[in-house]
Structure 1
Amino acid sequence: MREIVLDTETTGLDPQRGDRLVEIGCVEIVNRFVTGRVFHRYLNPERAMPAEAFAVHGLSDAFLADKPLFAAVVDEFLGFIGEDPLVIHNAAFDTAFLNAELKRAGRAPLAPERIVDTLTIARRRHPGQQNSLDALCARYGVSNAHRTKHGALLDAEILADIYAELTGGKQSSLGLGEFSAGSGVETKSESRKAGVQRLPRIALATADERARHRAFIAEIGEKALWNAYIQATEE
């Protein structure tokens, strides 16, 4: 199953009072495995950055001045997330900002039923305990030593590991080692070079690879077992 782990950074706490998105980070996972495909954009919020928000993520007015508006990347963003579930920590916060930007761009809001809130999952598994992203990293042994400030893509990558731990997804990866990312990688985060403990990645076959595989199987003969399997999966 394909899911998108998502995080954002903003100018403040309330989109209804004019706060805006300044960063979106998305990490694709399939059956809890990180594939290597990500969506990451910094955004011009069209307003000044409050000192309190700058202290959290370090994104300045000067840095964001030449970044695109949300409307300029909305099609690419929607294309990347598709209709798949969105895994978000404290989802009400991020979805409020995303829906405000989508409304501003004349697009439909995100459907509530596709949202998976890892904060809700963590509170059910660990009632009465701290369940912030940093607290969960400490609890599950996920490295966040390089996380000196908040960053949407970095936090989404960390959350992908936390989500696997919360849902037992890492059990299926025991002994599998680490796979290299496929050709679908869109961008790479510097955090991957800084020692984040990653889930095994899977390389998804391209359309061309699948076509060449079918051609190879066809040469074996109509009675080959693989031909029966391909026909069954395509019916």
Structure 2
Amino acid sequence: MTHDAEHHGHDHHHDNDLDPFAARVRALETILTEKGLIDPAAVDAIVETYEHKVGPRNGARVVAKAWVDPKFADWLKRDATAAIASLGYTGRQGEHMQAVFNTDDTHNLIVCTLCSCYPWTVLGVPPVWYKAPSYRSQAVINPRGVLAEFGLVLPEDTRIRVWDSTAELRYMVVPMRPVETDGLSEDELARLVTRDSMIGTGIALRPGSLEPGALWPAVSIPGAGV
């Protein structure tokens, strides 16, 4: 197994470093709640939507289109920003994108080693573990161990490439298309694409793995080490 880390300069302002900002938001939310001006349940519902539904569904549609349309896949490889924008997914935190494609012998993993730069446009709000110091360090030092924490055990000869996101360039993983999906529509394929698979801590689901009636796959939770 070989391990490459694609590092980029981090001598820039990290506009997604939420530590001090989050503290201010929490204080403001507490004050507004005490005054009866906001409903915490409504706030939680909005966060849940952006974290697990709206954003990841956008990315899933990008991946599904790449699976069924070779021309789009080639465009996504060459200019991910433009290809993603062609589907209507643009905005802050997604201005400069690069898509990295998993193959039979290479698996890609996304991290931001100094903060939490993350492609909100296609993946929504970053999960808590993505911002954790343990993930940010161990993803580079021991990517295979990190993947194991998520229940993803790869063959020993699989090459793992770690891509370090910055405020100037953010990455998304295009997982491999599951087998036995030739007859599925683009919408059906999109339901097999998880948020974790687009970060690289998971892979796309197999057909039939979704619970009956489910519109979106459950989000995996890492072990205590991540």
Give the structure-1-normalised TM-score: 0.25
* Larger gyration radius, structure 1 or structure 2: 1
Q: Which has the higher contact order (CA 8 A, sep 6+)?
A: 2
Higher helix share: 1
Give the structure-2-normalised TM-score: 0.25
